[in-house]
Structure 1
Amino acid sequence: MSLPPADVEITDDLVGLLLAGQHPDLAHLPAARAATGWDNVVYRLGEEYAVRLPRRRSAAELLRHEIEHLPALAPNLPLPVPAVLRTGRPGYGYPYEWAVVPWFPGRSAALAEPAERDGYAAELGRFLAAMHAEAAGRAPTSVFRGTGLALRQAAVEHRLAEFGNGLFSPAASEGFGPGSVEVLRRIFADGLAADVHPGVPLWLHGDPHPHNVVFGPDGTLAAVVDFGDLTSGDPAGDLGMAWLHFTPAGRAEFRSAYDDAAGVAPEAADALWRRARGWGVHYALIAILQDPSEPLHGVGRHAVATLLGELA
């Protein structure tokens, strides 16, 4: 699964021109491309900043959600997040709004082993509990995150077929038995059968997988990043990422910390976590179908193995 094509070419020269023209006090800082993601190109700017530039039209709208909402949410969150510090306008042929955000030194948690990630299970659980506050009337919504699982069923079936036949990504199904597809389908179906989210829409990170969690230089959890999918809806959409992060022991710690901090009622917990596990199937398939050179491929293999192990 490769990155979608970009609408615009983002170069070092372009970034330099945008900074010089709109934020000249930052233009002297060294800028180096740090990442090319699904939606954005990220440049590290000096020691303290990063520049996020949408590489396609759909991402420009998502960045607008970050600009509008994340600065207000950030003070209530127990971990640092890249709340937008400055914004930039289109210019020099670049058609989209862009942003300057904090830079958090460290490494992606996707590069760590699951047992190492278990060390921040409770911390991430409490972070998401704080994130999952009641969403305001103007909060964004998404057809891809925080929805009822039924809206993801067609996508899951499509990816199950790709995973099972091995034609799209031969490395994805390597090492998994022939019955794996049916087990994953049963887990997703159980999530579908659970009671739907009973309350008001809550704020969601939208994409809190391990590649969006930063380990600091001292091994502590430094930040949660990339709020491009910031949205509102069913918290199970975020909680499904637990299967990508943790071992079963770590996930149990994550769940306990989340339920306690979020005040999840015992009568609602079973349905919430069944839906979350259904989302876990969805996310695991997206990750494992990435190119084997991508960190998320290994994250997906771990998640699929963990999900299958639950029904072994």
Structure 2
Amino acid sequence: MTPPTGIDDRPEIGTALVRRLVDAQFPQWAGLSLTRVEPAGSDHVIHRLGDGLAVRLPCHRGAVGQAAKEMEWLPRLAPHLPLAVPAPVAVGAPGFGYPWPWAVARWLDGEVATVDALSHSRPAAIAMARFLRALRSVPVPGGGPGLIERDEATRAAIAETAGVFDAPAMTDLWDAALAAPPWGRDPVWVHGDLHTGNLLTDGGRLSAVIDFGNLGAGDPACDLTIAFTLMSPACRTAFRDALATDEATWTRGRGWALSTGLNALTHYADDARVVAQTTRQITQALLG
């Protein structure tokens, strides 16, 4: 989850603006209906365009660049993945006062995943493990950040939330994650922001993974956060077994879950939905 980068970075994005951008830059879609999608998450304003397209505009600077990244990489990754992912069809340019590139992609049917729907679903846990195994199998250049880059911010968040959670237990978990042996193999593809809001279900089954703004190469432990945001302990065990995750990677994954949960909690403290989700994430990370 990308934190907000300040009120000054948030342009007004109304349906009238999106209509003007679409009609001016993609006149072939000017006759299609346009309907805002709610809720749309924290990084983009989303509109459904006709029956088959989605228009996504970054609503803060931290989400800029996702359109180009997805346009470049998702068509290459999609054939290797067992779950649906967004299929970009166009990247729009700034205009009419809107300052950043934006994207049009194929509409994905489904509902946003919830803990109530999937936390006790072993098939969903296995499907998530298969998706991550497939994602990791695709060759990737370069490397990405590790846990150590998050150390200062995580320790500050532990101190800030000490009245809510067990600060010594969080510190012990974080110290153990930093001390765990690092990923010693080639970097692999990671989604980078796996939580329930970025998963879709169809007919009660996990069907799609969306929002690849943090896609990159690095330590696969960062994607283990989904085990703590979504799964019950029993399903978490099934997920770990299906993914064949070693102890060191699992320990680092708990650290990623703790760090991202604390980051979201401290940045979105006034959002009850985020507070509930991240409280569960932190609690489950502490349980292991």
Superposition TM-score, scaled by structure 2 size: 0.89
In 2, Cα distance between equivalents of 1:194 and 1:284 = 20
Match status 1:80 vs 2:84: yes
Count of residue pairs the alignment pairs up? 283
2:199, 2:206 within 8 Å by CA — same for their partners in 1? yes
Aligned equivalent of 1:157: 155
In 2, Cα distance between equivalents of 1:93 and 1:22 = 14
Distance 1:280 1:8, change over 3 A: same
Aligned equivalent of 1:11: 14
Aligned equivalent of 2:30: 27
Q: Deviations over 1:231-276 (max 9, x none)?
A: 11111111133111111111111111112xxxx6xxxx12111111
Distance 1:2 1:233, change over 3 A: closer
In 1, Cα distance between equivalents of 2:168 and 2:231 = 23
Match status 1:276 vs 2:253: yes
Report how far residue 48 of structure 1 moved. 1.9
Aligned equivalent of 2:193: 207
In 1, Cα distance between equivalents of 2:207 and 2:281 = 23
Instruction: Give the alignment partner of residue 204 of structure 2, picking from 201, 219, 240.
Output: 219
Report how far residue 198 of structure 1 moved. 0.5
Match status 1:39 vs 2:24: no
Q: Deviations over 1:3-60 (max 9, x none)?
A: 4433422121111111111222222222122145433211122222111112233422
For 1:87, the aligned partner's letter is V
Report how far residue 213 of structure 1 moved. 0.6
In 1, Cα distance between equivalents of 2:123 and 2:138 = 28
- 1:87-236 matches, cutoff 5 A: 87-110=91-114, 112=116, 115-116=119-120, 118-133=122-137, 135-137=139-141, 146-165=144-163, 173=164, 176=165, 180-216=166-202, 218-236=203-221
Secondary structure of the structure 1 residue equivalent to 2:137: coil
Distance 1:112 1:30, change over 3 A: farther
In 2, Cα distance between equivalents of 1:229 and 1:56 = 15
Report how far residue 300 of structure 1 moved. 1.7
For 2:155, the aligned partner's letter is E
Gap regions ≥5 residues in structure 1: 166-172
Report how far residue 181 of structure 1 moved. 1.3
Match status 1:247 vs 2:232: yes
Report how far residue 219 of structure 1 moved. 1.0
Aligned-pair Cα RMSD in Å: 2.3
Superposition TM-score, scaled by structure 1 size: 0.82
